Structure 1
């Protein structure tokens, strides 16, 4: 499949959530089986995510015996990796990551249940197993959130010996988006999904630039994420700026173009003075363009007395836009 260690870990966690979500359905006829696979996949996923953070520090750290670390064995996967108990110690000693007791206990309890399920059977009732899974999901979400910047930073000590290797691959980025989407479907973990999405947004944007998304209503929408495209870091909603501007007016500000025009009013969607697209909206005292991302405070723009277009004010205190002012000069000659 070509997935990385982190990619495999995220993929396992996503599959764990899918099984857990299925087990939560009242119509589920194989609840025990779904819970079993949720537990097994989550345990594997957490271990790989923790190991991948070690790997980002240095490839030798994921070997059980670092003195026997060998690049060839790493490439073909024929090596014994660090055990779970030592893994957390190495994260603290070698990476400066101090995993708190809540996380340690959650991961250890999950590991114990996994061993019981793999080799024997589980005597605990399934609500208790579900609770263990949910607690571990909270803690691995916290680990991803707290260490997100380390995952996205360039690799400088890769076993490939390439300086400034990119942090996250496109596949890893896609899997993190999927993780946010799936974990948000679990009632107990909506806030965990928001936290991961927020730290992801913070890595790629300035938080005060983010707006409420017309689709999910969370304040995680970035204008001009790509050329004339808006993107939500939470629900992955993505549309052209002109479309999002209209949907923002409808869904967030609760305005209907039909009702406003019918009553003789003017629909508050304006042409941007920078990119000329009809995608500028007044958002909390600022005129924001959903296409190019430019914004102006209310005192920095005005409406032309002649043509009503929105324009950027200059020092001449003119009440006309640049086109109308230019036309007036020509007309007066």
Structure 2
């Protein structure tokens, strides 16, 4: 049926998440290249372009939540009418990070700042001048920035949203599924998380989303330390039962936990990845085959 095309509905947040989703798909193409050769040039080029765009848009989207004038190059000359029409010169990515840290109290480490700056420079070189560089080095820079966004979006952007929070949460769940295929990201991120997970092995299980040993039960909400997807304890237990245990009836608890909850499943934990134990997702208590 012919007729007028609907208006495009790409708010800055939706734009940023669209770029992020695209970047991950380019970093994790199907089938994924072997570990002995990098992503092909075209995939890596668009991964860099879209990841840099996602970073700038999502960081500025968070800055707007602090105050709309902060995204102007000179906030002292900000005009609401110019902001609403998009007719203004916005601040640089470096100024954005400075304002997020100094005004919005969003932590950005020097390593993260350097990676974001390097990615922006690589993007500019690819766009305007052509660029020759080691593909593994470019991929490593992209992975560091993606690592940053995996924390930034759910921890600092999503809580500041209202109507778009659900969309961002669902988008990050989809991103988490694709992230599992990026070998270099997995290795780097798990190394960084080793300290956070140390001592929690007996209540750490594999994530139903990203398939990394990074979900610590016995917390509310339960959060995957790797992909940052979060659940209420009952939802986490249900998804673990459906996606990891494949809905095996034998894996359900026969008795409730001593805490009064019935979220005990037959699970494997990071302390012994082959041993079946009863594990309460609500309080994190271990039981010897209490199922």
Distance 1:140 1:61, change over 3 A: farther
Which entry has the higher C-alpha Rg, 1 or 2?
Answer: 1
Equivalent of 1:25, from 26, 33, 39? 33
Aligned to 1:220: 215
Distance 1:249 1:2 in 2: 38
How many residue pairs were aligned?
A: 258
Question: Looking at both structures, which has the greater relative contact order when contacts are Cα pairs under 8 Å and sequence separation is at least 6?
Answer: 2
Q: Deviations over 1:45-96 (max 9, x none)?
A: 1111221232222221111221332334333433322122322332333234
Q: Deviations over 1:195-239 (max 9, x none)?
A: 999xxxxxxxxx99966248536352769x99xxx9978597979
Distance 1:142 1:268, change over 3 A: closer
The question of 1:180 aligning with 2:186 is answered no
Q: Could you tell me the TM-score, scaled by structure 2's length?
A: 0.63
> What SS is found at the alignment partner of 1:212?
strand
What aligned pairs does 1:17-56 form with structure 2 within 5 A after superposition? 17-22=24-29, 25=33, 31-56=40-65
Distance 1:65 1:244, change over 3 A: same
Q: CA RMSD in A?
A: 5.1
The question of 1:14 aligning with 2:18 is answered no
Question: Could you tell me how far 1:150 is from its partner in structure 2?
Answer: 2.9
Equivalent of 1:99, from 105, 108, 123? 108
Aligned to 2:121: 112
Question: Could you tell me how far 1:183 is from its partner in structure 2?
Answer: 2.2
Unaligned ranges ≥5, structure 2: 1-7, 194-199, 270-276
Question: Could you tell me how far 1:108 is from its partner in structure 2?
Answer: 2.1
What aligned pairs does 1:53-92 form with structure 2 within 5 A after superposition? 53-92=62-101
Contact 1:39 1:110 in 2 (8 A): yes
Q: Deviations over 1:262-321 (max 9, x none)?
A: xxxxx98415499xx99744779x96567xx588787xxxx9xxxxxx9xxxxxxxxxxx
Distance 1:181 1:246 in 2: 12
Distance 1:271 1:189 in 2: 40
What aligned pairs does 1:156-195 form with structure 2 within 5 A after superposition? 166=162, 169-190=165-186
Distance 1:141 1:217, change over 3 A: closer
More displaced stretch, 37-46 vs 101-110: 101-110
Distance 1:231 1:86 in 2: 31
Unaligned ranges ≥5, structure 1: 156-164, 198-206, 258-266, 304-309, 311-333
Distance 1:196 1:11 in 2: 27
Distance 1:110 1:246 in 2: 35
